[in-house]
Structures are given as C-alpha cells and as structure tokens.
C-alpha cells in the first residue's frame, strides 16, 4: 500500500526533515523518549524487573490505561511501547475524535494485520472524554485482538472510564517526575546535538536547571518548554554563548502553576492531604493544603463540610467544642463569603489540627453497624418497649415489665440492661475531655457489677413505686 508510513517513519524526527519556512518542532516534542531507558521517572512501573517493563520487553500485554497529571509522559510512553514492540502507532484524541474516526482506524489496523501481519497500537489520549458509545465501539475489537488499546487520562479511570473497558485493561498510575529526573532530562536536552541544543553554544547554570525542575511541578513538558523559551529569548554574549542564568530561568518558568483539577485526582488528593494533616495534628501542613485549595478555586463549602466531618470523626469526644467551631466556621463562611471567609476556615483548621484527637465514637458506630450488617440483630428488651407494648404483654398474662427511670436515682443512674448479651462498642479514650467520660463509665460499670453481685440496692421496690413513669 503506497503512501502508508512504516514503523521507522512513525518515529522519525520531523525537525530534521522540515521544509524551509516551517516552524521548528518544539523541544518537548523533539525530546520525547525513544526507549524505556529514556523515559523520565516512573521507576515504580518501569524499573528493572517491574511488571510493566517485563510486559513491554516480552511483548506480552493486551490493553493498558495510563493515568496521571499532565507532563508525566503518558503519550511518550505509549509511543515508546510501539517502538519497542515494533508495532504501528495510531493515535486519537478523546476531545476531537468521533465514532467514525475510531472505526476508520480500526479498519486500517485490520487491513495491516491481514496483509502484513503487523500489530497496531491504538492510543487514545484523554480517554475519559469519550462517551459510553465511543468507548463501547472499542470493546469487540480489543477482545478480538484487532488493535492493542492504550488509553491516557488525567482522571482516575475507575471513576471516569467505563468499567467494561477498565476491566479489559491493566491500569498504571504515572507519578509527577522527580526533580532530579527533570534536571537530568534538561541536561540531556542541552547536550543532544540532534534533538536538543547540543549543536549550539548554550550554557545553563546548575541553579537555573534546579529552578526549572522544581517549578515545573513534576511536569517534564513544562520544564522543557521553559528551557526552550529561555534559550530562544536570551541573546548570546560577546563570546557567542547563550547563558541561561537563574534570573533567566525565573522569567521563563514564571510562577509555579498549581496542579489542581476540580473533578480529578488532584482535587481528591489535596483534600485527603488536608484532612490527614488535621488528623495528624500538623497545623502548618493543614494550612498549606487549605491555601492550595483556596488558591485553586475550590468550593469553600466543600472545605467547610470536610472540617465538620473531621471535627466529629477525628476530634470527637476528646473536644466536643471542635464540632461547634467547625459549624461556626461553616456558617461564618456563608455569612461573609470570600475572600474574608477564608479566615474562619483557617481558624477552624488550626483549632482542629491542635485539638486532642479521638475517633472512639466513630469506631464504636462502625462496630455496631458491622454487627447489624452481618445479621446479628437483637430484639428490644421487654422493659424498654413502649407503654402500649407493656399493656399488651400484661393483658396476655406475661410477667409485668419493669423500667427504672434513671432520674429517680442518685446521680441519675441505675443499673439495668439496655442491650442484651452485654455487648460493648464504645471504649473511651484518654485524650482531652474524654478522660472524664472514661472515669464516669468506669464508675457506672463498677456500680453495675456490684449490683449484679447482689449488693442490695433497692431497685425493684423503687421501680414498683414509680411504675409507669418515664416510659
């Protein structure tokens, strides 16, 4: 078939064959890795002996989904896989492509397989943008082996990609590229004569490269683009050398972009870090994550709701005032709005982070719910039932049911059974105000134990005297 590119054509360097007058290919594109060893970062999945690396090198994989922040190398890795396995590489974008285009690429793949026996990797960027119908088109062709599917997304595929497609794929998460790896990538770009600036007189200080790497937020593409801007906009000195200094790097990268997607992983990860910092009693970390959410435009009511939850879940009975502070912060936010509303949010954040911690009430509820969910339900004890139930029982000749009204006893406490089988769910902690709760419970339980041992408390007679009260 004339005009159909070969594998080598797919990975040629366009800048080398660009026509006169064409704009040069961006540095980030030219520096795309050509082998697994050139991939920046991702050692957790591509290091020696790791599953994905073994699968690629042995050419034993079916469908893959890569997800992670922008600039972590999802597209680059897909192309490297095609090169490593000798496969054709076809790509689509989830924003721009439709069903007709998907079918056309699949038909091409089928033709190549039948005529030349070649495998096609169909790479779909932003796969989460495909609707259900578009994703479903892929399924039968993936199952028949017409194409090998590789999807890329910045969103968690378990939430944003159809489950049938996820179930047929191996999912790998790509992490932001570590600073030291970004630095090495920048150094390689400066030294590479074919794809980088190795054929030019360019020098970059270590401080400049470190700054570009740190401010890129783990985004290799952003770092390379900033380096290219620095080189292209800096005039050569009297020696003909383009010197990229720290000042030039600062201008080129500008301010650090906040990686935050309102409905993506960064949203949930940042909120998780916020709550865990409060739980871990670190007010500085909690304030940082709060600031990041506010800066990124997070709904402040989402933040205040998290604070209310944390007040009960993580502080709980150790300081019951924490719930009041969180609720007051929520109401204050609603009352004054932003930007001033951030102040009560900070107030509540610091209060919760520095408060004593206890999750005993939350844990106790979990135990009780687990018993109920497992079918270990209990009938209400006869003496705790409604007055109507007691009258019905008496009319049927059952033994008279006695309920002891706690307020008629000293200390508003009288030992009696409220739960069959003597189950214990709540175990008081020793933090903050919960110490006093623990002391009260110990006293009451000791009193109950004494009564059960026959110490002679005149409960029965007193109950007969007040029968019918407090029902």
Give the residues across from 393 on adjacent strands: none
CA-angle at 217, arms to 215 and 221, nearest 5° = 95
The answer to whether residues 183 and 285 belong to one domain is no
Instruction: Report pLDDT for 178.
Output: 92
Q: What CATH number is associated with residue 230?
A: 1.10.8.60
Domain count across the chain: 4
Instruction: Report pLDDT for 227.
Output: 95
Report yes or no on 59 lying in a domain. yes
In this structure, the strands spanning 64-67 and 170-173 are parallel
Q: What CATH number is associated with residue 384?
A: 1.10.3710
The answer to whether residues 218 and 233 belong to one domain is yes
In sequence order, the 6+-apart residues with CB closer than 8 A to the CB of 188 are 31, 196
| Domain termination site, one of 192, 227, 253 | 253
The answer to whether residues 98 and 42 belong to one domain is yes
Report yes or no on 447 lying in a domain. yes
In sequence order, the 6+-apart residues with CB closer than 8 A to the CB of 105 are 90, 92, 120, 122, 147
The answer to whether residues 64 and 47 belong to one domain is yes
What is the rounded CA–CA span in Å between residue 133 and residue 135? 5
8 Å CB contact between 4 and 108: no
What is the rounded CA–CA span in Å between residue 32 and residue 185? 10
Instruction: Report pLDDT for 74.
Output: 93
Tokens of 34: 């050509």
Instruction: Report pLDDT for 272.
Output: 92
8 Å CB contact between 197 and 190: yes
The answer to whether residues 163 and 191 belong to one domain is no
CA pseudo-torsion sign 437, 439, 444, 446: positive
Report yes or no on 323 lying in a domain. yes
What is the rounded CA–CA span in Å between residue 13 and residue 195? 8
3-state secondary structure the chain: CCCCCCHHHHCCCHHHHCCCCCCCCCHHHHCCCCCHHHCCCCHHHHCCCCHHHHHHHCCCCCCEEEECCCCCCHHHHHHHHHHHHCCEEEEEECCCCCHHHHHHHHHHHHHHHHHHCCCEEEEEECHHHCCHHHHHHHHHHHHCCCCEEEEEECCCHHHHCCHHHHHCCEEEECCCCCHHHHHHHHHHHHHCCCCCCCCCCEEECHHHHHHHHHHCCCCHHHHHHHHHHHHHHCCCCCCCCEEECHHHHHHHHCCCCCCCCCCCHHHHHHHHHHHHHHHCCCHHHHHHHHHHHHHCCCCHHHHHHHHHHHHHHHHHHHCCHHHHHHHHHHHHHHHHCCCCCHHHHHHHHHHHHHCCCCCHHHHHHHHHHHHHHCCCCCCCCHHHCCHHHHHHHHHCCCCCCCCCCHHHCHHHCCCCCCCHHHCCCCCCCCCCCHHHHHHHHHHHHHHHHHHHCCCCCCHHHHHHHCCCCCC
Instruction: Report pLDDT for 216.
Output: 86
| Domain termination site, one of 196, 225, 253 | 253
The answer to whether residues 163 and 38 belong to one domain is yes
CA pseudo-torsion sign 194, 197, 198, 201: positive
Single pTM value for the model: 0.58
Domain, as residue range, for 314 = 265-354
Instruction: Report pLDDT for 395.
Output: 56
Instruction: Report pLDDT for 460.
Output: 41
Tokens of 403: 């309920």
Report yes or no on 14 lying in a domain. no
Report yes or no on 4 lying in a domain. no
Instruction: Single out the residue of 81, 83, 13 nearest to residue 42, CA to CA.
Output: 81
The answer to whether residues 280 and 237 belong to one domain is no
In sequence order, the 6+-apart residues with CB closer than 8 A to the CB of 43 are 50
The answer to whether residues 317 and 237 belong to one domain is no
- Per-block mean pLDDT, blocks of 10 residues, the chain (471 long): 40 42 80 92 92 93 89 92 92 86 91 89 91 86 90 89 90 92 95 91 93 88 94 92 92 70 72 94 94 86 94 93 96 89 95 93 90 77 69 56 76 77 80 84 80 46 40 43
| Domain termination site, one of 354, 388, 416 | 354
Q: What CATH number is associated with residue 303?
A: 1.20.272.10
Instruction: Report pLDDT for 331.
Output: 94
What is the rounded CA–CA span in Å between residue 92 and residue 276? 39
Instruction: Single out the residue of 178, 277, 191 nearest to residue 227, CA to CA.
Output: 191
Report yes or no on 20 lying in a domain. no
The answer to whether residues 438 and 392 belong to one domain is yes
The answer to whether residues 241 and 303 belong to one domain is no
Instruction: Report pLDDT for 442.
Output: 83
Report yes or no on 57 lying in a domain. yes
Instruction: Report pLDDT for 130.
Output: 87
The answer to whether residues 131 and 166 belong to one domain is yes
The answer to whether residues 401 and 435 belong to one domain is yes
Report yes or no on 25 lying in a domain. no
Sheet strands side by side (includes 64-67): 88-93, 120-125, 148-153, 64-67, 170-173
Instruction: Report pLDDT for 4.
Output: 41
In sequence order, the 6+-apart residues with CB closer than 8 A to the CB of 279 are 310, 314, 357
């Amino acid at each position: 078939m004339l005009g159909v590119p070969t594998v080598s054509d797919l990975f040629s360097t366009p800048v080398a064959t660009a026509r006169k007058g064409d704009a040069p290919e961006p540095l980030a594109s030219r520096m795309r890795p050509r082998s697994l060893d050139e991939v920046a970062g991702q050692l957790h999945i591509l290091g020696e002996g790791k599953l994905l690396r073994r699968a690629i090198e042995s050419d034993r994989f079916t469908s893959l989904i890569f997800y992670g922040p922008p600039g972590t190398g999802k597209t680059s890795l897909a192309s490297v896989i095609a090169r490593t396995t000798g496969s054709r590489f076809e790509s689509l974008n989830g924003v721009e492509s439709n069903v007709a285009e998907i079918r056309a690429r699949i038909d091409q793949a089928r033709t190549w397989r039948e005529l030349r026996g070649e495998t096609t990797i169909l790479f779909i960027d932003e796969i989460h943008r495909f609707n259900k119908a578009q994703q479903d088109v892929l399924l039968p062709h993936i199952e028949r082996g017409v194409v090998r599917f590789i999807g890329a997304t910045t969103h968690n595929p378990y939430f944003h990609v159809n489950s049938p497609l996820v179930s047929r794929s191996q999912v790998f998460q790509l992490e932001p590229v570590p600073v030291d790896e970004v630095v090495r990538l920048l150094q390689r770009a400066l030294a590479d004569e074919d794809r980088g600036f190795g054929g030019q007189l360019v020098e970059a200080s270590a401080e400049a490269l470190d700054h570009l790497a740190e401010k890129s937020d783990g985004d290799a593409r952003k770092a390379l683009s900033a380096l290219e801007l620095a080189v292209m906009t800096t005039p050569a000195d009297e020696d003909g050398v383009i010197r990229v200094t720290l000042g030039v790097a600062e201008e080129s990268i500008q301010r650090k972009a906040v990686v935050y997607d309102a409905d993506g992983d960064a949203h949930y990860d940042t909120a998780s870090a916020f709550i865990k910092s409060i739980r871990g009693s670190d007010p500085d970390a909690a304030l940082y994550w709060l600031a990041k959410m506010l800066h990124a435009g997070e709904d402040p009511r989402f933040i205040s709701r998290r604070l209310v939850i944390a007040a009960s879940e993580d502080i709980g009975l150790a300081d019951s005032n924490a719930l009041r502070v969180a609720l007051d912060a929520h109401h204050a936010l609603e009352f004054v709005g932003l930007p001033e509303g951030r102040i009560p949010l900070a107030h509540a954040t610091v209060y919760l982070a520095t408060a004593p911690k206890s999750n005993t009430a939350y844990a106790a509820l979990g135990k009780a719910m687990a018993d109920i969910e497992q079918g270990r339900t209990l009938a209400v004890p006869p003496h705790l039932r409604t007055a109507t139930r007691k009258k019905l029982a008496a009319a049927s000749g059952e033994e008279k049911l006695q309920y002891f009204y706690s307020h008629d006893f000293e200390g508003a406490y009288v030992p009696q059974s409220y739960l069959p089988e003597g189950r214990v769910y709540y175990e008081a902690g020793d933090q903050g105000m919960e110490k006093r709760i623990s002391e009260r419970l110990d006293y009451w339980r000791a009193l109950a134990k004494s009564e059960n041992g026959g110490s002679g408390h005149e409960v029965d007679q007193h109950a007969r005297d007040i029968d019918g009260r407090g029902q």
